[in-house]
Amino acid sequence: MRVDIISIFPDYFAPLELSLIGKARGTGILDLNVHDLRTWTSDVHRTVDDTPYGGGPGMVMRPEPWGQALDAVGDGTLIVPSPVGKPFTQADAYALAALDHLIFACGRYEGIDQRVIDDAASRMPVREVSLGDYVLFGGEVAVIVIMEAVTRLLPGVLGNADSLTEESHAAGLLEAPVYTKPASWRSREVPDILRSGDHGKIARWRRDQSLSRTASRRPDMMAAYPLDQLDKADKKA
């Protein structure tokens, strides 16, 4: 997968040189290129913003540098993090992980001139996405989150493929609590069932824990959970 990230703060993406994303870049699974938007400015001050037409607070990112930057990186699927974007989900991560070329446009200030998005949409798919109902300074942090969510789905990135099959947001429920050694820590014991060796009972215990956690913390996920799956779980465990 080729990824181009365009930002006025390219150093924000140093974390993408670390850990499993860094390894995916090293092994060629991920071809990640970070670009400084100011490369495509032509004035001495390397200006990327200007006052908004119609008035209002703050500044808006000028279209010219963005148009030239997007022309330079070529066509793919353009992802634009935005406070007014569609909420980004695990399903979106799976969809993006299946694509060959992602382009991320990191806005700042009050956002990017709308004509940049409209112009790009005339020649490639454009997705305006939001991480959630809170306000960030710009798109960079959102791109780091999306890059983690997408990269871990790429074949060869996660060592243990099982990690993907048992994920809560993929399976529709929150995961059960996890434990490791020692069996007793600060007088707190690991649930006996997990040390029983009875895999059927362990699977049922985990399912019950997932259901109770999801019901209390994410009733929205519970409402969407197919009821027949609950019956199957009972019979299987």
Residues near ligand JDH, by CB under 6 A? 57, 81-83, 85, 107-108, 110-111, 130-132, 134-139, 142
Task: Kindly tell me which of 52 and 172 has the beta carbon lying closer to ligand JDH.
Answer: 52
Angle between the N-to-C axes of helices 90-97 and 140-151, in degrees from 0 to 180, rounded to the nearest 10: 70
Least distance to ligand JDH, CB of residue 52, Å: 10
Least distance to ligand JDH, CB of residue 83, Å: 4
Distance CA 218, CA 151 (A): 26
Task: Kindly tell me which of 82 and 151 has the beta carbon lying closer to ligand JDH.
Answer: 82
Least distance to ligand JDH, CB of residue 168, Å: 21
Asked if 71 and 35 count as a contact pair (C-beta separation under 8 A), the reply is: no
Element spanning 188, H or E = strand 188-189
- Reading the block at residue 74, the tokens are 């070529």
Least distance to ligand JDH, CB of residue 37, Å: 12
Reference 61, options 45, 52, 43, 49; nearest CA is 49
Least distance to ligand JDH, CB of residue 88, Å: 7
- Residues 6 or more apart whose CB falls under 8 angstroms from that of 109 comprise 49, 58, 59, 60, 61, 138
Asked if 135 and 110 count as a contact pair (C-beta separation under 8 A), the reply is: no
Task: Kindly tell me which of 9 and 94 has the beta carbon lying closer to ligand JDH.
Answer: 9
Task: Kindly tell me which of 127 and 213 has the beta carbon lying closer to ligand JDH.
Answer: 127
Asked if 213 and 176 count as a contact pair (C-beta separation under 8 A), the reply is: yes
Least distance to ligand JDH, CB of residue 92, Å: 12
Task: Kindly tell me which of 88 and 205 has the beta carbon lying closer to ligand JDH.
Answer: 88
What's the full length of the chain, in residues? 237
Task: Kindly tell me which of 53 and 134 has the beta carbon lying closer to ligand JDH.
Answer: 134
